Structure 1
Amino acid sequence: MSDALARSAEAGGSAPPKSNAVVAVLALAGIVVSLMQTLVIPIVPELPKYLHASASNTVWAVTATLLAASVATPVVGRLGDMFGKRRMLLTSIVLLVAGSVVCALSDSLVPMIVGRTLQGLAAAVVPLGISVMRDVLPAERLTGSTALMSASLGVGGALGLPTAAFVADRFDWHILFWTSAALGVVAFALVLTIVPESTVRAGGRFDLIGALGIAAGLVSLLLAVSKGADWGWTSGTTLGLFAVAVVVLLAWGAFELRTTQPLVDLRTTARRQVLFTNLASVAFGFSMFAMSLVLPQLLQLPEQTGYGLGKSMLTVGLVLAPQGLVMMAMAPLSAAISKTKGPKITLMIGAVIVAAGYGLNILLMSQVWHLVLVSCVIGAGVGFAYGAMPALIMGGVPASETASANSLNTLMRSIGTSFASAVAGVILAQMTTDFGTTALPSENGFKTVMAIGAGAALLALALASFLPRQRTAAAQGATAAAGPGEQAEAAEVSEAKA
């Protein structure tokens, strides 16, 4: 272990400014990718006019990104472990730039869908960045740096919404994608110049059958979840896709357990620390996204409803923007608690804060400042949780599987957000109030979604309680710097003690 720590010190400990630069560049790359995810939201209502297509077809500009990201995240993570995390990080950024350019040149639906698909293939940047940090930073820097990198998801999304709304309202919408491309080029140049390549490699042969299997299963599942409301939840198409997803994913799991070099090591994933962290991630993904669905609608519904605030999309973005800044501000505090109490405690604190935020939202929803306060409270809880999850994952897997394990954890959050969208959509479609000739989501419908968001956070709390007793994050950082054999032994000892 001393040799591993010495290598870690050589990578970053002997040159703190270099370590700071690596963290800053990787966090910037994460922000750029998360910006891409919210970039299109303000222009979704206008896409039929911009692309000369129907509203039902232009929704694919969002759905294509979701599906591409779900497939790319575990596959690119595994490729990063095999062939180099920095190399795959650069490849992902190239795909982001290419997709942004295609979208910027688009005036019809098909090129836009192609561009948004390419952008979705860049979704693995954040888990890859966290994995690079594990390999090149000194152990004492790891917890705080990964918390900051994880928070970049929220920061980019929160800042991207008001910026995109402002640009789309005053300039040609293509500028949004030219800006995304330019930011991608900057991120690529900085990563290429500043971030070192990790020498930790898993090697072996790429599991093509496993990649195709998980792609087919995830696309079937998420397509059914995201389009079920449009097609009908009991339609043959929706039920057929759910059935395909179950059959394919079960067959995929059986194959992965038998193959010697799987895409996802399910035996490692089944370790209590990894398993319950991933399950908690699904619940947190659900809980976080429920807020993103409720608050914008409350802000934009007409004041005449008695609970809507009648604000513009730009105001929506400005109300949600502080949430991302709070998430980033919580990263050092999350890291400090993880170092002293262990990341399990940090995750549980985050769950309690998120549940309290939703409870507050049920009581306070009649003023703009109410919703700013609620988004900040929930953002603080998510910042705690997202800071703890990478530490928990990396404390339970060997260094050679860091990228694939972090990518799988990111995928679990995405699955949670997809189910949140579906559940909230069903509730708000069923619980309506008549407003003239239009049926709008009722106040009780919004409160029901908030209550479910609080319940999802409490479920994450319950799942986190099953995590094994934690060493401090500092001790886990030392394990992260150890060789694969030492890590496996440490993980087994931890499981045995728990």
Structure 2
Amino acid sequence: MQTIVIPLVPELPDLLHASPSDATWAITATLLAGAVATPVMGRLGDMYGKRRMLLVSLLLLVAGSVVSALGDGLGPMIVGRTLQGLASGVIPLGISIMRDELPAERLGSAVALMGASLGIGGALGLPAAAFLAERVDWHVLFWVAACMGGLATVLVLTLVPESRVRTGGRFDLVGAAGLSVALLCLLLAISKGAAWGWASGWTLGLMGVSLVVLAVWGRWELRTGQPLVDLRTTARRQVLLTNIASAVFGFAMFAVSLVLPQVIQLPTATGYGLGSSLLTVGLVMGPSGLVMMAVAPLSARISRTRGPKTTLMTGAVVVAAGYLLGIVLMSAIWELLLVSAVIGAGIGLAYGAMPALIMGAVPVTGTAAANSFNTLTRAIGTSAASAVAGVVLAQMTTRFGPIEVPSLNGFRTVLAIGAGSALLAFLVASFLPAHDPAGAGARPATGATAAEPAES
């Protein structure tokens, strides 16, 4: 769902009969809706049933896809993409169901594969979406998305049991509203800052509102009896450092998605562009998803024998190595394919470790909320990376005919920033508690509420 509109981005203003700035809301709406929905769905899953909230998320996805498929203007597209974004909690909900239902010996590999699927879907979705966009009417993309969402809904209804692990209680409406306002202001400022100006009143004002609301929200969450986000649990060393590493890692992984497609599509007359189609972009980026899937068992094995801390650190090093390769290997399709695959391997390792680290430090009754918050931190890191990379590429340009395009040094700078971010994630992960096997604190439920896990 995140990559399905990428092939349409250059044509969105014409397709939606909107200005270029307004057409970007087709992407921004999904980002904002996902940021709000992820922690809310996680908490509701812990309270009222993870399978139930998983089904709600999938139905929202189907509804959003149908609305977009039936619409022709900007309004229906924004509504549809917002509904699709509200389904963003499916991954943390799925991981949490696994914790409740699977035996300990199967949990590590299952969680690693589910974590890696965050990258697998995006990597494989891009070539499929590019192929369809070049050959059929754009509405077909959303009909395909609706069919996939419908199939997933049927499979969940048929195969996934409802967990008996519930927290009960009352939903924290004030906390949900406060966090939603803070996230909307923050991400809106980040995503629109380049267009509005980073020193503009709108950008600075939204960031200021976000900080004030976050401070008030934090005070409320610490004082209420049933918070949306348990900040005391979130402040535990293992959870806090994992979330910080996740945000930094989310920042690191975005560079490859921004640089490689542009290098592949820029004309060869620039001296560094490869002059290929968007379909080629998909075929270059797609194998990274298969690599993520392939390394998922390795991620689980390392976590089981050496602890997920080691897995996360290894993944960060591999990603950094991939970016450093990209700085010197950028002149042929096979070189970019190699770079994409190496970075994909690192992402697969790290994404398999993060849920294991979170589940090793939170009670089973708070699994969905904790995993959802971890997913949110990655999304914030990715959004920040998009803004930073956009500024770098806008400043480091070269003239090509009548237009300015990002320069080779600009692309290399973004890749270097990605490598540095991955190494920073490695540094943060190094302060995590020592050896903590993936199954620690993550035993499957037996129907009773699990006790609070011991501190690592």
Residue of structure 1 equivalent to 2:356: 391
Residue of structure 1 equivalent to 2:339: 374
Residue of structure 2 equivalent to 1:333: 298
Residue of structure 2 equivalent to 1:130: 95
8 Å contact kept, 2:102–2:444: no
* 1:39 aligned counterpart, secondary structure: coil
Letter in 1 for 2:288: Q
Paired with 1:252 and 1:364, the residues of 2 have a C-alpha distance of 46
User: Is residue 410 from structure 1 mapped to residue 375 from structure 2 by the alignment?
Assistant: yes
Letter in 2 for 1:39: I
Residue of structure 2 equivalent to 1:84: 49
- Percent identity among equivalent residues? 69
8 Å contact kept, 1:52–1:108: yes
Deviation per residue, 1:122-179 (Å, 9 max, x gap):
0000000000000011111111001111111111111111111111111011000000
Paired with 2:182 and 2:452, the residues of 1 have a C-alpha distance of 31
Residue of structure 2 equivalent to 1:317: 282
Cα offset, 1:47, TM superposition: 1.2
* 1:37 aligned counterpart, secondary structure: coil
Letter in 2 for 1:394: M
Letter in 2 for 1:337: I
Paired with 1:466 and 1:97, the residues of 2 have a C-alpha distance of 42
Give the one of 426, 431, 455 matched to 2:396: 431
Letter in 2 for 1:304: A
**Gap regions ≥5 residues in structure 2:** none
User: Is residue 145 from structure 1 mapped to residue 110 from structure 2 by the alignment?
Assistant: yes
Residue of structure 2 equivalent to 1:351: 316
* 1:133 aligned counterpart, secondary structure: helix
Deviation per residue, 1:225-279 (Å, 9 max, x gap):
0000000101100010010111011110111001010000000000000000000
* 1:199 aligned counterpart, secondary structure: coil
Give the one of 441, 447, 454 matched to 2:412: 447
* 1:473 aligned counterpart, secondary structure: coil
* 1:284 aligned counterpart, secondary structure: helix
User: Is residue 162 from structure 1 mapped to residue 130 from structure 2 by the alignment?
Assistant: no
User: Is residue 250 from structure 1 mapped to residue 215 from structure 2 by the alignment?
Assistant: yes
Letter in 1 for 2:383: S
Cα offset, 1:470, TM superposition: 2.3
* 1:440 aligned counterpart, secondary structure: strand
Higher helix share: 1
Closer, same or farther in 2 for the Cα pair 1:462/1:86, shift >3 Å? same
Paired with 2:188 and 2:92, the residues of 1 have a C-alpha distance of 23
Give the one of 68, 71, 82 matched to 2:33: 68
User: Is residue 207 from structure 1 mapped to residue 158 from structure 2 by the alignment?
Assistant: no
Residue of structure 1 equivalent to 2:5: 40
* 1:198 aligned counterpart, secondary structure: coil
Residue of structure 2 equivalent to 1:268: 233
Deviation per residue, 1:338-381 (Å, 9 max, x gap):
00000000000001000000111111001111100000000000
Letter in 2 for 1:72: A
8 Å contact kept, 2:55–2:156: yes
Closer, same or farther in 2 for the Cα pair 1:359/1:269, shift >3 Å? same
Deviation per residue, 1:43-82 (Å, 9 max, x gap):
1111111111111111000000000000000001000000
Residue of structure 2 equivalent to 1:26: none
- When normalised by structure 1's length, the TM-score is 0.90
Paired with 1:192 and 1:53, the residues of 2 have a C-alpha distance of 39
Paired with 1:473 and 1:410, the residues of 2 have a C-alpha distance of 18
8 Å contact kept, 1:480–1:487: no
Paired with 2:51 and 2:444, the residues of 1 have a C-alpha distance of 22
**Gap regions ≥5 residues in structure 1:** 1-35
Paired with 1:481 and 1:472, the residues of 2 have a C-alpha distance of 21
8 Å contact kept, 2:165–2:449: no
User: Is residue 185 from structure 1 mapped to residue 150 from structure 2 by the alignment?
Assistant: yes
- When normalised by structure 2's length, the TM-score is 0.98
CA RMSD of aligned residues (A): 1.2
8 Å contact kept, 2:364–2:442: no
